[in-house]
């Protein structure tokens, strides 16, 4: 454990380390204020920025080569949202403002026809994304009992507008609730993809192009189970991970090696 986080971040659900910075951006999930937090490695909040958009269900953070930040407002517990979106914040605004406008990237899933679908078809929740080469890659979270470890991979242009997400592939891990995919990140060199759940992190390597599930996967188990919902790469072999504060545990920032 690196640090305990402030009570202002007790429901932290997204974390991102941008290029050329040792500080981390964090956010809380739905029901909290539309605010992002700049945090140091001791868990101290250095800066707060108010976002001029509703926090309907914010779930993850990612950034591009220019330092622009993206918020995944696509939490969809009941699989009935028709307003899924990703919010883009310009890098310059992060540097100079305390309250910022956003560009809105709206999207839908190509195979979802009912809102909500039948319980056996509720694969349209999501808590995980990252940016690569002009696209946002979203990993879904299953709400289907007995199949909680299934995740589907989609890509969406990282540009303002209304998009139909492009389905790429899917992956299945274990089936219990702790197997939910709750965060995603890609390494600085683009050769490793990390998917987080409550008990472990799955690391994919040697994949073809952007079909990240086509590669080799290795699971790194943690020594405890908690509501882990944030992951980002410190470097190509090390992760930063956060968990929510719940049931008298969690609310921490961790460093984890995947050498």
Average pLDDT for residues 113-118, to the nearest whole number? 98
Largest distance between two CA atoms of the chain: 47
**pTM of the complete model:** 0.98
Q: What is the pLDDT of residues 185-207, one digit of tens each?
A: 999 999 999 999 999 999 999 99
Domain count, the chain: 1
pLDDT at residue 178 in the model: 93
- Boundaries of domain holding 24: 3-257
Q: What is the pLDDT of residues 125-160, one digit of tens each?
A: 999 999 999 999 999 999 999 999 999 999 999 999
The answer to whether 30 and 57 are in contact (CB under 8 A) is yes
Q: What is the pLDDT of residues 54-109, one digit of tens each?
A: 999 999 999 999 999 999 999 999 999 999 999 999 999 999 999 999 999 999 99
What CATH code is carried by the domain that includes residue 22? 2.120.10.30
Q: What percent of the chain has pLDDT over 70?
A: 100
- Of 90, 99, 36, 38, nearest to 66 by C-alpha is 90
Which CA distances in Å does 141 have to 75, 93, 150, 171, 178? 9, 31, 7, 11, 11
pLDDT at residue 43 in the model: 97
pLDDT at residue 20 in the model: 83
Residue 259 has pLDDT above 90, yes or no: no
Place of tokens 């269900």: 57
Average pLDDT for residues 17-41, to the nearest whole number? 95
Beta bridge partners of 127: none
């Amino acid at each position: 454990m690196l640090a305990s986080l402030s009570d202002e971040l007790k429901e932290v659900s997204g974390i991102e380390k941008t290029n050329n910075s040792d500080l981390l951006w964090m956010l809380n999930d739905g029901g909290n204020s539309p605010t992002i937090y700049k945090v140091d490695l001791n868990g101290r909040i250095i800066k707060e920025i108010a976002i001029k958009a509703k926090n309907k269900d914010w779930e993850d953070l990612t950034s591009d080569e220019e330092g622009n930040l993206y918020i995944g407002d696509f939490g969809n517990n009941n699989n009935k949202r028709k307003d899924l979106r990703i919010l883009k914040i310009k890098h310059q605004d992060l540097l100079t403002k305390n309250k910022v406008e956003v560009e809105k990237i709206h999207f839908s899933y190509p195979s979802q026809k009912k809102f909500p679908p039948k319980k056996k078809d509720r694969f349209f929740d999501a808590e995980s994304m990252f940016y690569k080469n002009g696209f946002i890659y979203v990993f879904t979270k299953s709400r289907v009992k007995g199949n909680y470890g299934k995740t589907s991979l989609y890509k969406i242009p990282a540009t303002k507008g209304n998009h139909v997400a492009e389905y790429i592939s899917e992956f299945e891990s274990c089936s219990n609730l702790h197997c939910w995919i709750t965060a995603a990140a890609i390494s600085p060199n683009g050769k490793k993809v990390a998917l987080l759940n409550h008990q472990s992190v799955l690391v994919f390597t040697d994949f073809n192009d952007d079909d990240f599930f086509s590669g080799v996967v290795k699971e790194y188990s943690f020594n405890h189970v908690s509501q882990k919902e944030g992951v980002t790469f410190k470097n190509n072999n090390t992760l930063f991970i956060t968990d929510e504060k719940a049931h008298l545990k969690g609310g921490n920032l961790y460093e984890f090696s995947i050498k």
